[in-house]
Amino acid sequence: MNARERSPWWRGAVLYQVYPRSFQDTDGDGIGDLAGVVRHLDHIASLGVDGVWISPFFRSPMRDFGYDVSDFRAVDPVFGTLADFDALVVAAHARGLRVVIDQIYAHSSIDHPWFTESRDSRANPKADWYVWADPKPDGMPPNNWQSVFGGPAWTWDGRRRQYYMHTFLKEQPQLNVRNPAVQDALLAVAEFWLRRGVDGFRLDALNHAMVDPALRDNPPADDDGPRTRPFDFQQKLHSQSQPEILDFIERISALCDRHGAIFTLAEVGGAAPEAEQKAYTAGTRRLSAAYNFDFLGAPSLDADFVAKTLAPWCDGEGEPCWAFENHDAPRALSRWATAETMRPFARMKMALLLALRGNVVLYQGEELGLEQDEIPYALLQDPEAIANWPLTLSRDGARTPMPWTDGPNGGFSEGTPWLPLGAANRARAVSVQAADEASLLALTRRLLACRRETPALRVGRLDGLHADGALLAFDRVVEGQRIRCLFNLGSETLVMAGAGHVLFAVNGATVDVLPAFSAAYLVVAPA
């Protein structure tokens, strides 16, 4: 039995993220649905990924497109029914795909019955289920905390004559996860979905789930990072990342352990999140992996940046999960490549992503090389982009419909899509690339097969990491197998004293020559 066979299914697994609103519309309303996910499970399975992560489909007023949940146990009608979800799980499992879904524990919708009861009075069974606070003597909010979407993280509620907290929209009140009754209710939600057959959870905004009970002011930011929102002007010492969250994490882990090999992925952001990410995934009583944001926020990609980002994970402590794209970040190729370099860069980028230690997430359309769609202000749907226009890039540009064909609406819908799909991305459609062995889609399938079949790439440690100009190099090592991963992130050819033989080459790479934007996996003698 090799290292891969001894590991849980999720160790080194690759997940495909589906943003169901934009994946496939089957009823002509312009919005994707769960039946649309089922329709294209064969495409996902053909890539060779291990599972599918489905972004929120729960009942919601959609002020933040599903991350404001009004019923954690129901499917929103726009996406279908619980029966549709059950059918999706069965269909995915029949294709060997695991199913991972979001769990949102930091907040709910303002329309959730829990909040309706909580705001009714200061003396009811759920009065302490959300973060409430009295005003200052002058009527101002209790502290200086700011919300991600702009303005104070506090909104006045006339019924209770108190402020309630919200890290995001005012329609997303903060749950008081310090309250054991709230924890019990959230764990009951997890149990509900586990009994429906899910294989894992992505725990959204998990380090936002508890705040300082004394509600102390946050200090000013002490770095020179960008300042596009009031939220960016503070160190979030007291409004997130509280140490007591670890006890709740262990309760989550214990529940999932009772259901077998359940994957738990913590979304942990912040200015310097590595210590927190490692704490959340330490030992056997906590979570499986931590979702990393460094590449999602990077405006450019160079070898030195990649090496510095990977370095904290070389010691084998904790389990990272990497993504270059998702529903909250502009498409990577629009951030990192020019029109002239986009095609070779996309191929090298895919080889880099699939060589990383830990879990990997491919965002829908990434296997096609989609770029950021430009959405005019009049058509924006994203509340963050509208609130901060034009200082933040719209998330809508990465949420446009998946192009299945190069025909009208990319084969996404027979109605008017909720967001427009640009011509450049329609030209990259699945139908266009499916029969082309030189396409990015075909390359992605081959790279995924290589990772799946090579234990060092899937579960090996990261060793020998270094950057030298445009050259990035590291080894993946396990049980007598060493794979040297070389990447040229620049536009000039690199000549080296190579060793070993080529396992996989991208853009003409050889043992000792790396053309512009190329990559090579080399089999070398183990140390």
Calpha distance 403→365 (Å, rounded): 8
Same domain, 203 and 303: yes
Question: Is 204 labeled as catalytic in the residue annotation?
Answer: yes
296 and 324 Cβ atoms separated by less than 8 Å:
yes
Among 428, 449, 470, the domain boundary falls at 449
Average pLDDT over residues 225-232: 85
In a domain, 290, yes or no: yes
pLDDT attached to residue 317: 85
Q: Please check the confidence at residue 330 and state whether its pLDDT lies above 60.
A: yes
pLDDT attached to residue 4: 53
Give 390-436 pLDDT, tens digit per residue: 766 679 999 999 999 999 999 999 999 999 999 999 999 999 999 99
Q: Please check the confidence at residue 6 and state whether its pLDDT lies above 80.
A: no
pLDDT attached to residue 198: 98
Calpha distance 37→187 (Å, rounded): 27
Question: Is 29 labeled as catalytic in the residue annotation?
Answer: no
Among 406, 425, 449, the domain boundary falls at 449
In a domain, 103, yes or no: yes
- Number of domains the chain contains: 2
Same domain, 95 and 211: yes
In a domain, 182, yes or no: yes
Q: Please, which pLDDT band fits residue 309 given cuts at 50, 70 and 90? A: very high
Give 490-519 pLDDT, tens digit per residue: 999 999 987 899 999 999 999 999 999 999
pLDDT attached to residue 516: 98
- Comparing C-alpha atoms, which of 65, 79, 99 is closest to residue 328? 65
Q: How many CB atoms lie within 10 A of CB 109?
A: 27
**Cα distances (angstroms) measured from residue 229 to each of 118, 215, 293, 294, 491:** 30, 21, 18, 19, 35
Same domain, 258 and 375: yes
pLDDT attached to residue 391: 66
In a domain, 468, yes or no: yes
pLDDT attached to residue 310: 97
pLDDT attached to residue 393: 64
Give 451-468 pLDDT, tens digit per residue: 999 999 999 999 999 999
Average pLDDT over residues 35-55: 98
Q: Dihedral of CA 322/324/327/329: which sign?
A: positive
In a domain, 144, yes or no: no
The chain-wide mean pLDDT, for the chain, equals 95
Same domain, 517 and 368: no
- Can you give 11-70 as a three-state secondary structure string? CCCEEEEECHHHCCCCCCCCCCCHHHHHHCHHHHHHHCCCEEEECCCEECCCCCCCCCCC
Residue 485's domain is classified under what CATH number? 2.60.40.1180
Same domain, 188 and 320: yes
Same domain, 406 and 466: no
Same domain, 443 and 332: yes
Same domain, 490 and 515: yes
Tell me which of 76, 84, 199, 267 is the catalytic residue: 267
Range of the domain at 423: 3-107+178-221+238-381+397-449
Same domain, 216 and 349: yes
Pairing of strands 71-75, 519-524: unpaired
In a domain, 172, yes or no: no
Same domain, 330 and 465: no
Tell me which of 204, 274, 384, 475 is the catalytic residue: 204
pLDDT attached to residue 302: 98
In a domain, 131, yes or no: no
Same domain, 443 and 474: no
Same domain, 328 and 215: yes
